[in-house]
Structure 1
Amino acid sequence: MSRQRAIGLDVGGTKIAGGVVDADGTVLTELVEPTPEDSDAEAVLAVLLDIVERLRAKHDDVAAIGVGAAGIVEWPQGRMLWAPNNAYRDWPVREQLEAATGLPAVIDNDANVAALAEARLGPRPYRHLVLITVGTGIGGGLVQDGRIYRGPTGRGAELGHIVLNPDGPVCGCGNHGCFEAYASGTALTRMGREAAADDPDGLIARLGAERGEVTGQTVTAAAGQGDPTALDLFGRLGRWLGVGIASLANIFELEVVVVGGGLVSTGDLLLAPARRAAREFAYAREARATAPIVAATFGGDAGMVGAALLALDEGRTSVG
């Protein structure tokens, strides 16, 4: 009997990744395309179908399609109801993918599927885990007793939108002071631009002028050169990340907190201040263990791998 494989698709605010994945999490082929600038449903669907077609041309034995996408997904219907950094609303993506490809499909929040990948295929199996994905925004996935927690309709575990400060900066979701507004790549870009405006002769401003604008990548590059202002910004970003993690750990008894997303590639620039803050704000440290904070095993592939695993889990009945 051949090994089961599925296509995993990870839809983010800036890029869409797709790959053919084995049941053990091995990525056999991977493709990446930019998210369309208008990011509406029709444009995003066209990219998804193009990726699926190209992957199936190389692997004709895929059993199902899984999609992880930022935003609120109606479970198990597979409708993308809303996304903070994309234009689609009330999008029946599961229905459209199945009609266009003839394969069973499953759709879930991107951080949910990434959490599934980390819990099942990380350094060891975990049954109680929180995943925080730090990228353009902040996603969150919660695994409790070995299963993704979604709430009754899939709208649960929007961890990136717990409110840390109601008087804080505007978040992409429209509220003020969300976790995402303080500890994401978007937050790093905002802080970097503020720093460049305050110090036009500083390294962040100069690198931004060379690149056309100041972004989170500009701040990261400046930090890599030892710039004190950039290092301070990462300290602030990481501290807010730790504050949010402490709040979650105070609610749930966790075996581990996994941090993924693009910014985790900066390593201890982000994670060291996050660990300090998580310990500082942990409740009853004398009576309960502080869950370790670790970098994601799968890096940028977590959403793609988790989406494929979920597709294999949920699609077996349809596949036969």
Structure 2
Amino acid sequence: MNTLSSGIGRQEHILKEFMPITAKTGVFRQAIGPCAYDCVKFAVIRDGSAILCSQLGQQPVTVGDVVLLCSNTLCAAEPEDRCTVSTILIDTDYMIDHLFWKHAGLLSDRLEAKDLVTRLYLEPVQVLRFGVQRLEVIEPWLDELACLSARCRYVKRFNRIQALWFLIADVLSPFIEVSPVRLLRSQRERLRSTLPRHRRFVPLRSEVMAAAAMMRGDLAHRWTVRELADRVHLSQSWLPRVFADAYGKTPMAFLTMLRVEELARLLRGTDLLVEDAIKQVGWHSMSYAIRVFRAYMGMTPGAYRRTHNVVA
């Protein structure tokens, strides 16, 4: 019981240090920036006015305006006398997750969602002319979100924090300009053999569960679709279909995901050499393993270890 409590306490401590959604309200009387954030930023003007300096040039903002800044976008502002601003910072990966689930029937995975983001949001800076009346609607949510962010009880109130953000986003989203991108059901992820999620919440077939269990149980084995199909007594053409209906991925793409997850765990929690960890999860080509891991995790195994390793 003590181990469980300490584990939960440690997890809560980590989440306190990293909050994917946070907000604060402040009054500014002096120039700010230029600065950039490694996240998505919404600045809601609640009182006063300012001159915004960004890739849009110089632009005035006043009460009822919302400034949307994509990640790593430089921006400066100079208040005219004073300006009260509520700022919401949203982790970029968190936003991509929401886009993924919004279009889950058409997107293969979160990497495809990340690519869609770059095509939808071409403007790194947007000034949303939101209006005073709509501002009055979201102000109580902004205040509560800022209050919860400051109280450092993030884990216990995370659901409420998300709910407040969803309420605000629901009102804001119609004002955000996006580029026209045609999404087709025939789209497929080209780099990874995954399939869009056309499945529904239905009981999993025993053959599918058996195939997944075999791969989980022996990642180092050189699995093929033929061998898996033979072992679960399905045809080689039918197994990928029913497997994708269940897991949203073909068997080989599912195996790749499992190997990436296990490799990440080994890099975080053991002192194995990167080369040995790669072999342990079943990859025999260093260059291929590095390329796949980077595609899924956004960095090489070596960089991941330097960032996340907790072994003393």
Is TM-score (shorter-chain normalized) higher than 0.5?
no
- Return the structure number with greater helix share: 2
TM-score, length of structure 1 as denominator length: 0.23
Higher relative contact order (CA 8 A, sep 6+): 1
Rg (Cα) greater in structure: 2
TM-score, length of structure 2 as denominator length: 0.24
